[in-house]
Amino acid sequence: MLIFVFLSLHEIGAHYQYSDAVPGEWLKRVLHTERNHYDRVVHFAFGLLLSYPQREILIRKAGLRGKWIYGLPILTTLALSAAYEIIEAIVAAIVDPTDAAAFLGLQGDPWDSQEDMFMGLAGASVAMFALALVNFRQGAKLSRAASTVRRPPQS
């Protein structure tokens, strides 16, 4: 479901072009900004929605355990975000060298790529922190329940 939601958000951006996406225009009015921030929403959603499936793959296929199950999906999201921005810049330079900034949808922001990567990092961090908090609380609840169970005396 998480992957489906992310792909749906991505499809909206691809359909309207991220710099002109309708949800971003609504967000522009709400936040009173000049820039359509829909691409930032999708980058945040990339981290938020896809870090959990990454974590599950790392646990099930790579046998990852310990605190790495929370940290590695964050680092992987940052690496994938950086790789995407680099590939996007190379493609823009090849496809339209004279107007690459418009192709990239920078909307006048020279730090667009770095901010997009940060949004992915922030989304993954929020997801993994929330998951760690839930797991910690469930673990504490289970240990309290186990300590209150009366065991019959052993002979």
Residue 35 lies in a domain: yes
Q: Is there a domain that residue 147 lies in? A: no
**What burial class does residue 32 get, using C-beta atoms within 10 Å of its C-beta: 0-12 exposed, 13-18 middle, 19+ buried?**
exposed
Residue 91 lies in a domain: yes
For residue 153, the model assigns a pLDDT of 66
What percentage of residues in the chain have a pLDDT greater than 90? Answer: 41
Q: How far is residue 139's CA from residue 121's CA, in Å, rounded to a whole number?
A: 26
pLDDT > 90? residue 83: yes
What are the distances in angstroms from CA 116 to CA 46, 104, 143?
10, 12, 41
For residue 132, the model assigns a pLDDT of 93
Residue 153 lies in a domain: no
Does 151 reside within a domain? no
Residue 80 has pLDDT above 60, yes or no: yes
Residue 104 CA from chain centroid, whole number: 20
| 123 pLDDT above the threshold of 80 | yes
Residue pair 113/90 in contact (Cβ under 8 Å)? The answer is no
Query: Is 93 inside any structural domain?
Result: yes
Residue 118 lies in a domain: yes
Does residue 63 fall inside a structural domain?
yes
Number of domains within the chain: 1
Whether the per-residue pLDDT at 6 is higher than 80: the answer is: yes
Per-residue b or e along 61-85, where b marks 16 or more CB atoms closer than 10 Å to that residue's CB: eeebeeeebbbbbbebbbebbbebb
Confirm whether pTM is higher than 0.95.
no
